[in-house]
Chain A
Amino acid sequence: MYKLTDTTTIIRISDKALIPADPANTDYANYLEWVEAGNTATAADAIPDPTYQENRVSEYPPIGDQLDALYHAGVFPDAMAASIKAIKDKYPK
């Protein structure tokens, strides 16, 4: 009838309602009565471990830093490099 989450929020399975742990919430009061009657909520879903892609994304340098490194390494096409240089010249340090 109810399922736990990894927060204090309870899920009512019948309509998947999120019920906050607020004693003034009538649905939470009903949940507490249900537990007091000897019932036990279903365990929370396990949070999946991050994938290797997600781990990499979280630790890669910012995209801007990566592009700047490529520019300074001189690997951009001539037209793109010229366009970037023109902007740098327009707004010098």
Chain B
Amino acid sequence: MSLILDGTSGITNLTSINGGQLAGRRNIVINGAMNVAQRSASTTGLGAASGYFTLDRYRIGTNAASAGRFTMAQVADGPAGFANCLKLTVTTADTSIAAGERLIITQRFEGQDLQQLQKGTATAKQVTVSFYVKGNANALYVCELFDSDNLRSITQSFAVTTDWNRIELTFAADTSDPLNDDNGNSLEINFWLHGGSTFTGGTFAVNTWNDYTEANRYAVADRTSIFDATSRTFFLTGIQMEIGTVATDFESRSYAEELTLCHRYYEKSYPSTHKAGTNLAHNQDAVHMQSVATLEDGGSRMRMSKDFKVSKRAAPTVVYYDMVSAAGRVSTISDDTFANGVNPAVDGVVGTERFMMQMNGESPFLFHYTAEAEL
């Protein structure tokens, strides 16, 4: 492959500098190397509900209750240069597929982070999505970009083998319908692994932006259902979405950088090695509110505010835990003795920068918390 330099596209086919990544921030995906898993390294029995369960920023999407169940885990596996990947392991098969069933792995993006795509303008950019995949056997799945602001979609299929392979998909530019410049969900990368007739009954369009037609989204011929056998596995890492037509080398970022990016959407007070609700034998990371001399509201309440690690995308949902993992409870301390399971009785208010806890009485109290502002 030769380096190309022209006045329109600039330098193309430049995939590396000094054998490493190109300069500058290119990858729009957060946690593409699957290194951050604040919620849990592994969650079993998934499939009945949508949500965020293990690796940060990766949402499991279901539409109707399927009998299929799986484990989602961060595992120490990957192609050269990657220490971790996302692994789905089917634990309960489902070969009787109801119309509305689906299983997708999604990362959602704020519109204000995508204005450089120039979507909806005459100069809209092509986007290249690359990632590494493997499975227990050959399979065919679909990668979709879904414009949530305007309900438009573009799809391409990709093949999985038993070896790690890098998939490189360049998606067409979309000159219709710009993305909102705000903190809402504007665009999704969806990895379709399973779908019922609601999503497969139409005609699959390859790499063409269209107004969303549900029946077309997973309608590719010879598609695989990950729920077709309990032996099914799906491994994914190294996800990169960048402007342009070339899949450049994966842009490696430090764990600290990725963790900070993830904190905009989810943070916890627990140590990184402990998931929320863990019964901790120590409390050095807990939020600790010491008694104050002057109490609010005639002495009936005590208040404290806790700054978030980074500003949140939106005011997050906060769950607090006492020192032995009970949600909605705090621990009080007196003479080095904990009292757990204490109901703060008066709760708190939450903003994008910090949250405030209120409780009746004067006892110093401790708690852990999670704060979630996912898209």
A residues apposed to B, CB below 8 Å: 5-9, 11-12, 15-22, 24-28, 45, 47-51, 53-55, 57-58
Contact = CB atoms under 8 A, between A and B. Distances in A.
Nearest to B328: A16
Interface stretch (B34-42, B204-212, B315-323): B315-323
Contacts of B375: 26
Given A16-B319, A18-B319, A25-B314, A54 B348 contact: no
Contacts of B314: 22, 24-25
A54 B299 contact: yes
A54 B300 contact: yes
A55 B375 CA distance: 45
Contact of B183 (A12, A18, A24, A45): A24
The residue in A7, A12, A28 that gathers the most chain B C-beta atoms within 10 A of its C-beta is A7
B114 interface: no
Contact of A54 (B183, B295, B316): B295
Interface of B: 183-184, 295, 297-301, 313-320, 327-329, 345-352, 355, 360, 372-375
A45 B328 contact: no
12 contacts: A16-B320, A16-B328, A16-B329, A18-B320, A20-B317, A24-B184, A25-B315, A25-B316, A47-B300, A50-B300, A54-B298, A57-B299
Contacts of B299: 50-51, 53-55, 57-58
Given A8-B349, A22-B315, A48-B360, A15 B328 contact: yes
B374 A26 contact: yes
Q: Is the interface of B mostly helix, strand, loop or mixed?
A: loop
Contact of A50 (B183, B184, B298): B298
Contacts of A55: 298-299
B319 A17 contact: yes
A59 to B, nearest CB: 9
Given A20-B318, A50-B300, 16 more contacts: A6-B346, A17-B319, A18-B347, A20-B317, A21-B315, A25-B315, A25-B316, A25-B373, A27-B317, A45-B345, A45-B346, A48-B345, A50-B297, A50-B298, A51-B300, A58-B295
What are the 9 tightest A-B residue pairs by CB atom distance, in nearest-first order? A16-B328, A54-B299, A24-B314, A20-B315, A22-B315, A20-B350, A50-B298, A18-B318, A27-B317
B110 to A, nearest CB: 10
Q: Is the interface of A mostly helix, strand, loop or mixed?
A: loop
Contacts of B319: 15-18
Nearest to A16: B328
Contacts of B348: 7, 9, 18
Contact of B350 (A16, A18, A24): A18
Contacts of A15: 319, 327-328
A5 B347 contact: yes
B351 A20 contact: yes
A19 B317 contact: yes
B349 A20 contact: yes
Contacts of A25: 314-317, 373
Contacts of B347: 5, 7, 9, 11, 18
Contacts of B329: 16
Contacts of B315: 20-22, 24-25
A6 B328 CA distance: 16
A69 to B, nearest CB: 19
B317 A17 contact: yes
Nearest to A57: B299
Contacts of B345: 45, 48
